[in-house]
Amino acid sequence: MPSVADSEPKALAFDVFGTVVDWHAGVTQEAALLAARHHIEGDWPAFANDWRSGYAPAMARVRSGELPWTHIDALHRMNLEQIIDTHGLGQLDEAERRQLNLAWHRLPLWPDTMAGLQRLKSRFTLTTLSNGNFSLLTELAKHNGLPWDCVISAELFGHYKPDPETYLGCAKLLDLAPQDLMLVACHPSDLRAARACGLRTAYVRRPFEHGLVTIEPAIESGEFDLLAENFEHLADLLRVP
Amino acid sequence: MPSVADSEPKALAFDVFGTVVDWHAGVTQEAALLAARHHIEGDWPAFANDWRSGYAPAMARVRSGELPWTHIDALHRMNLEQIIDTHGLGQLDEAERRQLNLAWHRLPLWPDTMAGLQRLKSRFTLTTLSNGNFSLLTELAKHNGLPWDCVISAELFGHYKPDPETYLGCAKLLDLAPQDLMLVACHPSDLRAARACGLRTAYVRRPFEHGLVTIEPAIESGEFDLLAENFEHLADLLRVP
């Protein structure tokens, strides 16, 4: 197999939740702030993980056709309603629930995200390729000043990752062959689906995606083109100064 | 009717060819450079206008269903082939024709574009809403360092402006009501179609869109929300420092 150094990708597509932004910290903090206002005590890191754990199953219901196309803001809200009482937040009113749901539009970056992306942008076209809805991704980018060249969401294809329509649709919108596009993600399942579509793949470690109690996913040696510790290291591996 | 000052739009969607970039200068210059290499003499400003004059009719064939969905790079190439001999460029080989066709990915900005957009970005979400294909708009933005928050193309909707699917699709992707979105364009027909969909409208004068021999379009008093001399003036009108 040719190495990445032999023929570089032309564009990098980034998974967002967990890969670019620290959803765990962002959701934990917004829940804790709202709870403090009401003098509610709770385990907000556990709340964040509970909320997130409904994400893949909800998308699976869309992917299977059980639910019609439903964007992530709506799936997040649906999942929030299912866990809000359990975590003692049942007294939040509609405006507060809506505000909490929009925590996903304001998530903080990992410490290496901005510096890494700025380096990578000098050489590659940078896009998102996320299941987050288009407006969520656009607001998240504006909130953080992310230097994307464009925003691409699963919403544009009416399919959620890991459906092949998303990876191939992204390449098509950028007018690239699949092998000229590299997916950057911290989730092996996402990368495996992209690889099956002919994309290049860069795995980035995000050991704290779910907070300090970390379970790192198992990956096989050689299954991805690049293994990076963070975005600065990814820029090093792609030999971008 | 409430004035823009009473309740501002949340996002600005920009027409691109003519409004943001000077296609006439860009195409004229790239044609002149290629011609000089072959010692071909010609009227390159007239060539640029001829090429552009095939643009709306080609899209009309797609809009009517006579042609299947065909993106702008392909329509530009089709139109180029129709005029290339007339302008004495018949000896250009395939690589040169392809290069010339990509002049539309490298068009220069008007002098006020960057300063105006940078001011407007501090207050509004900025997107393209252009008939240019997604990869063209993305490359054009990267080439010029345009500060879009996202790139939206007619390609995403499978409809060309002025079909309503484009204006309403843009608002939907941004999760905005039509009245929270303002189209910025130098073409009254585009603005009129947007207004019919409920968008706000800002007309920007671009007297040199077709070169120095200028015919300014007729507009009626009060038909658009704002009339701006350029993007800096638009920022003034929207009271952005």
CA angle A33, A37, A41 (to 5 degrees): 75
Domain range list for chain A: 11-22+108-237, 23-105
Q: How far apart are CA B159 and CA B163, in angstroms?
A: 6
Report the Cα A199 to chain-centroid distance in Å. 18
Average pLDDT over residues B223-232: 97
Q: Is the pLDDT of residue A157 over 50?
A: yes
Shortest Cα–Cα distance, A1 to chain B (Å): 28
Residue B159, token pair as written in the block: 């409809």
Domain B11-22+108-237 in this protein, CATH class = alpha beta
Q: Is B81 exposed, middle or buried (0-12, 13-18, 19+ CB in 10 A)?
A: exposed
Question: Is there a shared CATH topology between the A11-22+108-237 domain and the A23-105 domain?
Answer: no
Cβ–Cβ gap A155/B173 under 8 Å: yes
Best mutation site among A72, A126, A128, A149 for testing chain B: the one with the most B CBs within 10 Å? A149
Nearest-by-Cβ selection for B125 from A138, A150, A176: A138
Residue type, A5: A
pLDDT confidence of residue B2: 43
pTM for this model (two decimals): 0.94
Mind listing the pLDDT tens digit for each residue in B9-66?
999 999 999 999 999 999 999 999 999 999 999 999 999 999 999 999 999 999 999 9
Average pLDDT over residues B129-144: 98
Question: With helix as H, strand as E and coil as C, how does A11-23 read?
Answer: EEEECCECCCECH
Q: B140, B139, B135: which is closest to B153 by C-alpha?
A: B135
Decide which of A6 and B72 is more confident: B72
Q: How far apart are CA A237 and CA A198, in angstroms?
A: 20
Q: How far apart are CA B228 and CA B132, in angstroms?
A: 23
pLDDT band at B6 (very low <50, low <70, confident <90, very high): low
- Cite the DSSP H helix spans in A174-218: 188-196
Q: For the structural domain made of A23-105, what CATH number should be given?
A: 1.10.150.240
Torsion, Cα A98 A30 B122 B133, to 10 degrees, reads -60
Q: Is the pLDDT of residue A5 over 70?
A: no
pLDDT band at A43 (very low <50, low <70, confident <90, very high): very high
